[in-house]
Amino acid sequence: MKSFIILCIIIIASLELKATQLGNVKGKKQITLNKAVGTSIVKFYSNSPLEKFEGNSQLLQGSFTLVAEQLEQSTGQISFPVNSMKTGLSKRDDHMYGKDWLDAKSYPMVTFDVKKFTGIAIKKSDNTGIEFSAMAEGQCTLKGVSKYAKAKVYVKYVFESDATKKRAEGDLVMVDADFSVSLKDFNVLGKGDIIGSKVGENIDLDIKLFGNESN
Amino acid sequence: MSRWRILQIGLFIVILSLSGLWMNDGFQIFTKDKSEKVTLQKDDIFGTIIEKREWVEDFQFGLLPDDPLQPFRSLSFYFVIAILTIAIAQRKISKSSKSLS
């Protein structure tokens, strides 16, 4: 029995130590969001019985560090201002920035801190670049409340070439991420019973990030 | 034809036109003041299609107002006004036809 437990511990430890390599890339790659590479955008969707609506923010900022030898240890921080979120209805946007909703005055930014990548699967690797999917785990902060969050990500890492140099220096990166937030978890309660009738209880986020190597 | 009947027909046409406008604007529940212009572009570097999105000023007539303080920015406001006016006009028509007989 004792040896079985030790074996289990060894197996679990070896799984934990499993490192995914970013192709032949070496070292830590600092990637900073850059408009020259592409417009980073977060689209959000609300689905409720009375109304479906979507909006977006295109003022994302941040950076992330890809640890080439051990992608699991990659980290980063992405944020965007609350008052850059638009839905096509100015009055609704004003309400959204208000105290009952996202309280943009007291908590001007929405942030996502990536602490690690898990479940990495290399999808493509050739002399032009590498593509992989993973789960980005970290903390999402909204209205001053930080919660553990998990986002499904797909990363396209393109090596520097004559074509990429026309856009920006260094290797280029595009990240596609999807996750969902429950408004209640972040103390976003709205007015009356609007959440659940006119605004969805969960908001789905679809994020596209574009950046380049900045070191 | 009495002027009340002409008013009824006029209001009916107005309601039909506004309903057409509402349908044309995509059956919006709430009136919107902006619409999103989406342009698709091929991105050769990342081998994907990327979207360029921008908000443009575009009034879209909704069933309900975007601002409760401005109820006239909705189809339902004109619908209620027109139905009430049509009903009043109908009453006037009935009254005048009774007095004639």
Q: B43 contacts in A (CB within 8 Å)?
A: 38
Verify whether the Cβ–Cβ distance A38 to B50 is below 8 Å.
Answer: yes
pLDDT surpasses 80 at A80: yes
Running DSSP on this structure, what letter comes out for residue A199?
Answer: B
**Shortest CA distance from A162: residue in chain B:** B45
Residue A1 lies in a domain: no
**Shortest CA distance from A171: residue in chain B:** B45
* Domains of chain A: total: 1
Verify whether the Cβ–Cβ distance B33 to A164 is below 8 Å.
Answer: no
Question: Residue A182's beta-bridge partner residues?
Answer: A202
Measured distance CA(A195)–CA(A47) in Å, rounded: 10
Residue-level pLDDT, tens digit, chain B, 101 residues: 788 999 999 999 999 999 999 999 889 888 999 999 999 999 999 999 999 999 999 999 999 998 888 899 999 999 999 999 999 999 999 988 887 76
Residue A138 lies in a domain: yes
Instruction: Please write down the HEC assignment for all residues of A49-79.
Output: CCCEEEEEECCCEEEEEEECCCHHHCEEEEE
Verify whether the Cβ–Cβ distance A50 to B66 is below 8 Å.
Answer: no
Residue A2 lies in a domain: no
Q: A156 contacts in B (CB within 8 Å)?
A: 46-48
Measured distance CA(A178)–CA(A203) in Å, rounded: 11
**Shortest CA distance from A55: residue in chain B:** B36
Residue A11 lies in a domain: no
pLDDT-based confidence at A96, cuts 50/70/90?
Answer: very high
Measured distance CA(A65)–CA(A81) in Å, rounded: 22
Residue A179 lies in a domain: yes
Predicted pLDDT of residue A11: 59
Chain A residues near any Cβ of chain B (below 8 Å): 38-39, 41, 50-51, 56, 58, 86, 88-92, 156, 158, 163-164, 167, 172, 174, 208
- Best probe of the A interface among B45, B51, B57, B70, by most A CBs < 10 A, is B45
Verify whether the Cβ–Cβ distance A88 to B43 is below 8 Å.
Answer: no
Measured distance CA(B39)–CA(A41) in Å, rounded: 14
Give the DSSP H/E element, type plus range, for residue A113: strand A109-125
Three-state DSSP class for residue A173: strand
Verify whether the Cβ–Cβ distance B55 to A38 is below 8 Å.
Answer: no
Three-state DSSP class for residue B32: strand
> How many contacts does A have with B, using Cβ atoms within 8 A?
48
> How many Å lie between the alpha carbon of B58 and the closest alpha carbon of chain A?
9
- Among B30, B44, B46, the residue with its CB nearest the CB of A89 is B30
**In this structure, are residues B46 and A156 in contact, taking their beta carbons and an 8 Å threshold?**
yes
- Among A56, A88, A90, the residue with its CB nearest the CB of B35 is A88
Measured distance CA(A176)–CA(A98) in Å, rounded: 29
Predicted pLDDT of residue A12: 55
Complex ipTM:
0.78
Q: Could you tell me the two tokens for A99?
A: 């105290």
- The angle, 0 to 180 degrees and rounded to 10, between the axes of the packed helices B75-100 and B3-24 is 160
- Convert the pLDDT of each residue in B74-92 to its tens digit: 999 999 999 999 999 999 9
Residue A32 lies in a domain: yes
At A141, which CATH number?
A: 2.40.128.110
Residue A29 lies in a domain: yes
Q: Which residue range forms the structural domain that includes residue A96?
A: 20-213
Give the DSSP H/E element, type plus range, for residue B84: helix B75-100
**In this structure, are residues A132 and A120 in contact, taking their beta carbons and an 8 Å threshold?**
yes
- Convert the pLDDT of each residue in A194-211 to its tens digit: 888 889 999 999 999 999
- Convert the pLDDT of each residue in A120-149 to its tens digit: 999 999 999 999 999 999 999 999 999 999
Predicted pLDDT of residue A49: 87
**Shortest CA distance from A131: residue in chain B:** B46
